């Protein structure tokens, strides 16, 4: 754990001395204010559940107001209670004024105060509506959406300006939020997402925003840098709060001594044998004076408090962050879950200027055994989806050199004609997660976002979460193309849920034949079949130390076929045909999932050992591969018989057929079109198929 003090050198943006707020930034916070709102940032209408649209429209030159909205809890603006607010398309939220009489003539980042901006307004000026923009069958336009998150008395009401434009980012988009907080009466302006785009490519532009609060025509509190505040992150289309920054407006005058407790720094899961444990709090010095001393106290499960004066260095400048450690370590009584409450006190020996933000809680689970997590990454993609190509590139870059994951790629049936390797099971998994846009991915059934915004930090945070389940197994391919796996589940903790299910997906490590319009020429970990089905195998509650064994299998019947597109009519019928390009690069991804909460407890990936492939060099060799003007087939085990050789193109048409004698054969490809071909060799008791790439 980090024990050093972090310095950020942040600047306090102060307005008029008569103003009733002070403001400070949380740049690159990597979260939303207080971490309460965890929803994603997909463009309307693909927003998460619970959001209410109060305005929606396309590009326009005329600023307008939406209808007045009720504030869902008691809230004070500038020291007076307000009950309603009116949002606008130009980035304002105005209190207790149903339809303000004043408004600007055009969209712009006006300097505050401004006579055309209504009094009693929170402002994120510079926005203008964007769209319509069509992707697939979905039409996107700007929207103002609202949602109340959290629980009383610490709720937040969000007013989000979703998918807006701004003149300096060409035809790109920007998202901003204005947040009202219960009890504290704090106001936040959140920099959520900005992507400058022109002609489908990123540009070097950035927004210029005027951020602040206008009390009246002569008094305003603006964020430092207004009216040209820039977005903090403009290079990735991240759909989570990972790239978010925000600006906090606090009622009143900045106190000399004020610590805000940003959270308890402790692992969520700890081994009992590693105790006793430090109790550390992440704090921010919101006082005007540098912090030279403080106290940290904590209680466990509501018990007696422990702690006292911090003995390590507490030199934290004004507005900087730091970590304070309680002088008393915590020794758990045994395994189990514990709720820890920790609070800072007496900054510089004085009473804290705002006691409402001094306390944080954290639940830690003490265990006697841990299992390394192998996260399950389920990527929904398509060879007809332009953004899917960079999404897959980003995903591959993140997982490169890493081992604690399993990957499944579901090729979907849109946009356009969709991917030929879509199946009904893909549709079932997409429906299970509510996937209606690609590229999209689910991490352990929890994180839901664009594959292009998957990051190394997200990977590392997920792999750091321990599992309490070992999954081992043996996968094999027997003749007649029956793929099976013997699975052993070994829980190191009790699982009482009755909603657990076991899944095993047969994936092909690399495919080529589903190439379509997005520029991708090869595809990794493509799902071919889920055993026993897309809805899984039900598991009984599991007891710590009691192993569970299961066997899953599927016989791929009939001949290989390449579907024309991703339509339901073209889906592979698993009872009569298959779409396996090569039998020697199959893997099985196994996972256990709570089918109700969608949480994935653990996954693992197994190579398929096969009578046909485990001694491949001794059975059949196809070389050189890729081929230029010819390739050879050599099958030592068929040297005493006549075998049938057949080559088909990606359309399933036979381009070559002949007999092979003495276990050897050469095929001239000088006149063939460049591409991927399927080579099939069939003897009296053996059958082998593989891909060969021809490059003329």
Q: What is the pLDDT of residues 227-252, one digit of tens each?
A: 999 999 998 888 889 899 999 999 99
The pLDDT score that the predictor gives to residue 136 is 59
Q: What is the mean pLDDT of residues 9-35?
A: 70
Half-sphere exposure of 694 (CA within 13 A, CB side): 23
* Cβ(110)–Cβ(116) below 8 Å: yes
| Topology (CATH) of 616-694 | Immunoglobulin-like (2.60.40)
Tell me the CATH number for domain 375-610.
2.60.40.10
Instruction: Choose the weakest-confidence range: 181-185, 209-213, 344-348, 450-454.
Output: 450-454
Distances (CA, A) of 650 to 519, 526, 614: 17, 17, 26
Map tokens 């292009």 to a residue: 452
- In sign, the C-alpha dihedral spanning 431, 49, 47, 132 is positive
Contacts of 25 (CB under 8 A, 6+ apart): 10, 11, 13, 223, 224, 245, 246, 247, 248
Query: Cα separation of 93 and 86, whole Å?
Result: 6
3-state secondary structure of 14: coil
Instruction: Choose the weakest-confidence range: 7-21, 292-306, 669-683.
Output: 7-21
Map tokens 């996968």 to a residue: 475
Which of the pair, 319 or 247, is modelled with greater confidence? 247
Q: Is the pTM of this model over 0.75?
A: no
Query: Cα separation of 504 and 432, whole Å?
Result: 16
Instruction: Count the neighbouring beta carbons within 10 Å of the beta carbon of residue 384.
Output: 25
The pLDDT score that the predictor gives to residue 137 is 65
Residue in 477, 471, 455 with CA at minimum distance from that of residue 377 = 455
The pLDDT score that the predictor gives to residue 610 is 61
The pLDDT score that the predictor gives to residue 15 is 35
The pLDDT score that the predictor gives to residue 68 is 97
The pLDDT score that the predictor gives to residue 689 is 76
Helix (H), strand (E), coil (C) string for 570-618: HCCCCCCEECCCCHHHEEEEEEEEECCCCCEEEEEEEEEEECCCCCHHH
The pLDDT score that the predictor gives to residue 423 is 98
The pLDDT score that the predictor gives to residue 9 is 31
> For residue range 323-348, what is the model confidence (pLDDT) as tens digits?
999 999 999 999 988 999 999 999 99
Q: What is the mean pLDDT of residues 653-668?
A: 92
3-state secondary structure of 409: strand
Q: Residue 194: enclosing H or E segment and its boundaries?
A: strand 187-195
Nearest-Å Rg of the Cα atoms of the chain is: 30
Residue 456 phi, psi dihedral angles, 5° rounding:
-65, -40
Q: What is the mean pLDDT of residues 135-162?
A: 92
Distances (CA, A) of 625 to 92, 142, 622: 63, 51, 7
The pLDDT score that the predictor gives to residue 593 is 97
Most confident of 138-142, 542-546, 559-563: 542-546
Q: What is the mean pLDDT of residues 308-321?
A: 88
Q: Is the pLDDT of residue 17 over 70?
A: no
The pLDDT score that the predictor gives to residue 612 is 44
Q: Is the pLDDT of residue 479 over 70?
A: no
Instruction: Choose the weakest-confidence range: 469-483, 603-617, 643-657.
Output: 603-617
Map tokens 């510089």 to a residue: 348
Q: Is the pLDDT of residue 27 over 60?
A: yes
* Cβ(335)–Cβ(366) below 8 Å: yes
Residue in 484, 481, 489 with CA at minimum distance from that of residue 504 = 484
- In sign, the C-alpha dihedral spanning 92, 98, 99, 102 is negative
In this structure, the strands spanning 559-560 and 577-578 are parallel
Q: Is the pLDDT of residue 151 over 90?
A: yes
Domain 259-367 - what CATH class?
Answer: mainly beta
CATH 2.60.40.3080 intervals, the chain: 616-694
3-state secondary structure of 34: helix
Q: Is the pLDDT of residue 531 over 90?
A: yes
CATH 2.60.40.10 intervals, the chain: 259-367, 375-610
> For residue range 162-194, what is the model confidence (pLDDT) as tens digits?
999 999 999 999 999 999 999 999 999 999 999
Which of the pair, 470 or 198, is modelled with greater confidence? 470
> For residue range 130-147, what is the model confidence (pLDDT) as tens digits?
988 876 567 889 999 999
Query: Cα separation of 669 and 652, whole Å?
Result: 17
Q: Is the pLDDT of residue 318 over 60?
A: yes
The pLDDT score that the predictor gives to residue 500 is 97
Residue 504 phi, psi dihedral angles, 5° rounding:
-140, 110
3-state secondary structure of 295: strand
Max CA pair span of the chain: 99
């Amino acid at each position: 754990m980090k024990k050093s003090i972090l310095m950020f050198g942040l600047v306090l943006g102060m307005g008029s001395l008569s103003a009733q707020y002070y403001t400070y930034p949380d740049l690159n916070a990597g979260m939303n204010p207080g971490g309460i709102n965890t929803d994603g940032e997909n463009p309307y209408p693909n927003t998460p559940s619970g959001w209410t649209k109060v305005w929606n429209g396309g590009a326009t030159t005329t600023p307008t107001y939406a209808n007045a909205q009720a504030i869902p809890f008691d809230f004070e603006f500038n020291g007076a209670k307000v009950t309603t607010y009116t949002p606008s398309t130009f980035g304002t939220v105005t209190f207790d004024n149903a339809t303000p009489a004043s408004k600007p003539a055009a969209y712009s980042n006006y300097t505050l105060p401004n006579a055309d901006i209504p009094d009693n307004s929170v402002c994120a000026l510079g926005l203008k509506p964007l769209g319509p923009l069509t992707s697939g069958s979905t039409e996107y336009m700007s929207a103002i959406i609202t949602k109340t998150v959290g629980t009383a008395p610490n709720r937040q009401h969000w007013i989000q300006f979703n998918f807006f434009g701004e003149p300096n980012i060409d035809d790109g988009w920007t998202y901003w939020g204005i947040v009202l907080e219960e009890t504290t009466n704090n106001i936040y302006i959140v920099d959520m997402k900005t992507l400058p785009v022109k002609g489908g490519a990123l540009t070097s532009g950035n927004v210029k925003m005027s951020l602040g609060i206008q009390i009246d025509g002569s008094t305003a509190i603006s964020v430092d840098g207004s009216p040209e505040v820039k977005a903090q992150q403009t290079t990735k289309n991240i759909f989570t709060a990972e790239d978010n920054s925000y600006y906090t407006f606090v009622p009143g005058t900045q106190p000399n001594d004020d610590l805000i407790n940003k959270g308890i720094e402790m692992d969520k899961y700890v081994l009992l044998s590693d105790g006793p444990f430090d109790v550390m709090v992440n704090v921010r010095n919101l006082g005007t004076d540098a912090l030279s001393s403080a106290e940290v106290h904590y209680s466990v499960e509501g018990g007696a408090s422990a702690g006292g004066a911090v003995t390590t260095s507490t030199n934290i400048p004004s507005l900087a962050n730091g970590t304070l450690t309680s002088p008393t370590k915590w020794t758990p009584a045994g395994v189990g879950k514990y709720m820890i409450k920790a609070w800072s006190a007496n900054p510089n020996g004085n009473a804290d200027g705002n006691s409402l933000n001094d306390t944080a809680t954290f639940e830690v689970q003490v265990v006697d055994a841990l299992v390394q997590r192998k996260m399950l990454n389920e990527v929904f993609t398509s060879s007809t989806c332009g953004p899917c190509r960079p999404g897959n590139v980003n995903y591959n870059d993140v997982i490169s050199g890493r081992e604690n994951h399993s990957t499944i790629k579901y090729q979907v049936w849109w946009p356009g004609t969709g991917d030929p390797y879509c199946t009904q099971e893909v549709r079932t998994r997409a429906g299970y997660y509510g996937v209606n846009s690609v590229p999209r991915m689910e991490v352990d059934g929890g994180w839901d976002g664009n594959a292009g915004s998957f990051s190394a930090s997200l990977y590392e945070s997920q792999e750091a979460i321990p599992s309490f389940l070992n999954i081992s197994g043996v996968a094999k391919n027997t003749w007649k193309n029956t793929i099976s796996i013997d699975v052993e589940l070994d829980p190191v903790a009790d699982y009482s849920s009755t909603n657990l299910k076991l899944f095993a997906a047969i994936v092909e490590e690399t495919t080529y034949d589903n190439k379509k319009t997005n520029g991708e020429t090869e595809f990794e970990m493509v799902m071919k079949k889920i055993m026993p089905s897309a809805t899984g195998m039900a598991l009984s509650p599991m007891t710590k130390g009691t192993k569970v064994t299961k066997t899953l299998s599927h016989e791929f019947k009939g001949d290989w076929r390449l579907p024309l597109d991703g339509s339901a009519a073209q889906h592979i019928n698993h009872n009569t045909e298959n779409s396996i390009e090569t039998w020697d690069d199959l893997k099985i991804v196994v996972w256990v999932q709570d089918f109700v909460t969608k949480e994935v407890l653990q996954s693992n990936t197994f190579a398929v050992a096969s009578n046909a492939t485990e001694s491949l060099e001794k059975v059949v060799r196809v070389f050189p591969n890729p081929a230029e003007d010819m390739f050879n087939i050599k099958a030592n085990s068929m040297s005493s018989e006549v075998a049938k050789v057949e080559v088909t193109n990606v359309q399933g048409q036979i381009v070559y057929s002949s007999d092979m004698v003495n276990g050897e054969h050469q095929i001239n490809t000088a006149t063939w079109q460049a591409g991927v071909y399927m080579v099939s060799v069939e003897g009296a008791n053996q059958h082998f198929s593989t891909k060969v790439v021809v490059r003329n």
